[in-house]
Each structure stands twice: as C-alpha cells, then as structure tokens.
Amino acid sequence: MEQLSDEPISQLIRNARRKRQLSQYTLARELATVAGRPTVTRDLVARWERGHQIPRQGSRQWLSVVLQVPQERLDAAAAASRRRARLGHAVVTSNAPVPTGPSRRAQGTPALLPVFRSRVQAGILAAVLLNPHRSFSLSELAEQAGGSLASVDKESRLLETAGILTSRVDGTIRLLRAASDGPMIAPLTELIRFTYGVPQIVGEEFGRVPGVARIVLGGTWAERFAGIPGPAPESIEILLAITAGHPEDRVAIDLAAKRTRTRLRCLVHVATQPLLPHLDYTRIPRQRGDQPVVEVAPVRPRQRPAGAPWPDGRGVLAQLIEAGQLDMVSGQAAHSRPFLELATAHADAAQALLESSPPSAFLLLAHAAQLIAAGLLAHQGLRTSPAAAAHVAGDVVSAQFGHQFSQVDLLRQRTLELGEPTSRDSRVGSDEVRIYLTTVRSLLSVAHTVTNTLGTFVQ
C-alpha cells in the first residue's frame, strides 16, 4: 500500500522553515540567492504555505537545498497535495481562512464572525488575544492572519488606536501585543476563542495525544471558516488520524476532548481513523456535496506533565474557570520551568540588594512570588485570564497547596503599600526583606517538589 507523505507540501514547507527559524522573508531571500531568481518573493512563499500554489519541480529543488529537506519528500508532499485537490476538498492549514466554492471573498467580511470588517482583522485578533503574553512582528501577524504586510499594518494601527493592541519598537522591528487592560479585551477574547481560535486550541489539546498524526476539522464551523455564509456553528467536528499500528489512547483523547470543550465552551464531537494513504473525510458529517475541511497542525508539548490532576482545590479551580477568571492553556504556555527559573533569578538578585536597596529587593521578591503562582498554574495547563482579579493567582495556589502560599497575595498587597511613598507603611527595611526572602525560597522549594507529581487539570 502506498504510504502517505506526513504532511501536505504547504505544511511541510512551513514546518521546515520554522524548524530552521527562518521568516518567510528570509526564506524568500535565500531561495532568490541560491536559485539566482529575484522573482522569488515573500508573497510567493506565503502562497505555497497557504496551499494556494504548489511549487514547481525547479522550485522544490531549491527548497530542498535551503530547507535541508530531501527533494523526494517534497515531491511526495506535492503529489499528495494534488491528490487532495482532485478530491475537491479545500484544506486550510493555518488560521488564514481560504475562500472556497462560489464565495471567493479573499478579504471580505468573515462569515465565521461577521461582526468584524475583514478576515485580516479577525486573524490579527486571534493571534494576539489568545497569546496575551507574547509580542508579534508585522511579518508574523501577516503569516498568522493571511494578509499582506500593508493590510496588517493598517489594521494593527486601527486596533492600537482603539486601545486593543499596544506596540513597542525593538531596533527596526515594530512589535505588537494585546493590551493588558481595557473594557473590550475580555469580551473580544471570548468572541475570538470560539471562532478563529478553534484551530489553535484544538491543535494544542489533541497534539498532546500519543499517536495523533493529523487533526481535521469539518462541519458547519469549517464552512464558516472557509467563508461560506450560514448560521453560527453549534459544535466542533474533529477527525483524528492515528498513526498506523499505534494503539488508540481513548483516555488521552477523552481528556483532550473535555479540555477542548471547556476552553471553547461548546460541544465537541471526535471521531478517529487510522492514517490512510489518502485522508478519508467521510466520517465528518457533510451538509453539502463539497464540504470544506480544515487540517490543523498538532502542537506538540516539549514534555507531558507527569502524574494525575492535583486533588485539592479542584472546586475552586472549576468555579474560577466557569467565571472566566482562569483560562486553560496548552503548548508552550503550559510549562512551569521558565516561571520558576525567573523567580529564582529574582530571589538571587534580591539577596544581592538586601542591604544596599531594601525596597528594590522587596519588589523583586514580590514579583518572584507571583511568578511561582503563575508557574504552578501553567504546569496544570492554566493561567489567569485578562479579566481576572489581581488576587486570583494567590487564592488558587493557597487553596491547592496550603496556607503558606497566602504569602503570594500578602506580598502583592504590601507592594501596593510601597506605592504610596507618603505613607509610613511605604517603608521597608532589610530585616523585613530578609524574612520575605526566606519565604520566597521556601515557596520555590515546594513548587519544585509538587511539579514532579502535578498533572494537567481536567474538569
């Protein structure tokens, strides 16, 4: 039986480029240099990666050299993409909606969420609102939103004027991220989550399931995503292609489905089938003879959290998730190590400043305590939402890991007192800081211990 290439050529090019840490512009420049063809541009690379165009054999030869991918693999992926085109399926491999069928409105009002004026605008919001702690360059947003640099620049400036985005300049690069406050941030995030955030969330949750080679979305949601007008989707239809010979892990699939359902706040229907020489979409319900489908790239975690969900404080966690105070996260955002490493660095710096500048040392320790709480949440696949009250992180870790973690919020409150320099409570001495240093070191020790057995939270 003929073996299917691991991924279509659009996704193969994208994954190989990201593995080499190249932007679309850099890849285009290197291809133009190697091939001696100045006509190779970022727009051409973008068309390849969106599946709008299959690279010709000569282009695949140079792609093989620059991306360090065997040409045989590129040729096989190109053949697989042509087979899919012959099957009449519209396959989308990123958050950029692709027009299909009779409705070809490349930059028109998005059928999935028609309150927005363009798909580019919706794509920008999906990228920044679902990754509130990350900054994006214009080229990254163009890739995520499926628009040109000019349109992304225009839309991002309008969103920044409205107070939804903020920007800073790093050298010659303008970086944008979601605003940290404002009355529109929380409701906009909820709108985006069930619409243009679906591929990211599904890819994160089911990407951690062993044996899942491909994830395909279909049904009403895929129709709206592809630009076909109609009623809003009421559920998400998911098809998982399992690697041949790999046992189906129903426990992991069910846990991923539960977390996806909680994060999207909608019904999730999951079907599985073995990975076949060509993807068979017949198990996805069809409302039309030529229904579009969306293939989602699995987001593989660097490591799978060990152990079972922490038993204490589950009720508190469930209530805060239901109230929108906590968000479920996965992928790169669900790792405690960066938080705990930075908290340790802050504690070390505070110790060095203990005698010379007690107030500065205290502020470092207060931030370290917040990082410890954030790290413990991240390890469970959680983080505080943009709408969360300032005390939520401290309350959660106190409910889960004991009264000593109430110091997290006490340090936060003490920081507020230091922000009033005319008050007698704004003074902090080295003796007080020394006590807090011991407290933070103790919290770090407990955090490192519990993460060895702490697992992902599932309601």
Model pLDDT, residue 94: 46
Confidence band of 306 (pLDDT split at 50, 70, 90): low
Model pLDDT, residue 368: 96
Q: 457: which DSSP letter?
A: -
Lookup: tokens for 274? 């073995």
Model pLDDT, residue 83: 73
Lookup: tokens for 457? 């939270």
> How much is the average pLDDT of 185-211?
86
> How much is the average pLDDT of 290-318?
70
Residue 144 has pLDDT above 90, yes or no: no
> How much is the average pLDDT of 79-91?
63
Note whether 297 and 11 are within 8 A (CB).
Answer: yes
Q: Which of 241, 350, 189, 217 is nearest to 296 (CA)?
A: 217
Could you state, in order of their start, the residue ranges of all structural domains in the chain? 9-81, 119-193, 206-296, 314-450
> How much is the average pLDDT of 54-62?
87
The mean pLDDT value of the chain amounts to 82
> How much is the average pLDDT of 322-347?
90
Note whether 224 and 243 are within 8 A (CB).
Answer: no
Q: Which of 3, 87, 81 is nearest to 48 (CA)?
A: 81
Highest mean pLDDT among 147-156, 296-305, 390-399: 390-399
CATH code for residues 9-81: 1.10.260.40
Model pLDDT, residue 311: 65
Percentage, residues of the chain above pLDDT 70: 85
Percentage, residues of the chain above pLDDT 90: 28
> How much is the average pLDDT of 141-160?
85
CA contacts within 13 A on the Cβ side of 267: 8
- How many whole angstroms from its chain centre is CA 86? 32
Residue 104 has pLDDT above 60, yes or no: no
Query: What DSSP assignment string belongs to 59-123?
Result: HHHHHHHHHT--HHHHHHHHHHHHHHHHHT--EE-SSS---BTTB--TTS--SSSTTSS-HHHHH
- How many whole angstroms from its chain centre is CA 350? 33
Which residues lie closer than 8 Å to 49 by C-beta, 6 or more apart?
A: 10, 11, 13, 14, 17, 24, 93, 94, 143
- How many whole angstroms from its chain centre is CA 274? 27
Model pLDDT, residue 19: 85
User: What is the pTM (predicted TM-score) of this model?
Assistant: 0.67
Model pLDDT, residue 103: 37
Note whether 297 and 93 are within 8 A (CB).
Answer: yes
Residue 102 has pLDDT above 50, yes or no: no
> How much is the average pLDDT of 371-395?
91
* Helical (H) or strand (E) element with 327: strand 326-328
Residue 276 has pLDDT above 90, yes or no: no
Confidence band of 387 (pLDDT split at 50, 70, 90): confident
Name which residue leads in pLDDT, 411 or 334.
411
Confidence band of 88 (pLDDT split at 50, 70, 90): very low
Model pLDDT, residue 324: 85
Confidence band of 93 (pLDDT split at 50, 70, 90): very low
User: What fold, for 314-450?
Assistant: Four Helix Bundle (Hemerythrin (Met), subunit A) (1.20.120)
d(CA 223, CA 112): 8
CATH code for residues 119-193: 1.10.10.10
Which residues lie closer than 8 Å to 295 by C-beta, 6 or more apart?
A: 8, 11, 91, 92, 93, 214, 215, 216, 217, 279
pLDDT tens by residue, 213-258: 888 898 888 888 877 888 888 889 999 989 888 888 998 899 999 9
Model pLDDT, residue 44: 81
Model pLDDT, residue 225: 82
Residue 108 has pLDDT above 60, yes or no: no
Note whether 439 and 347 are within 8 A (CB).
Answer: no
> How much is the average pLDDT of 408-419?
89
Confidence band of 442 (pLDDT split at 50, 70, 90): very high
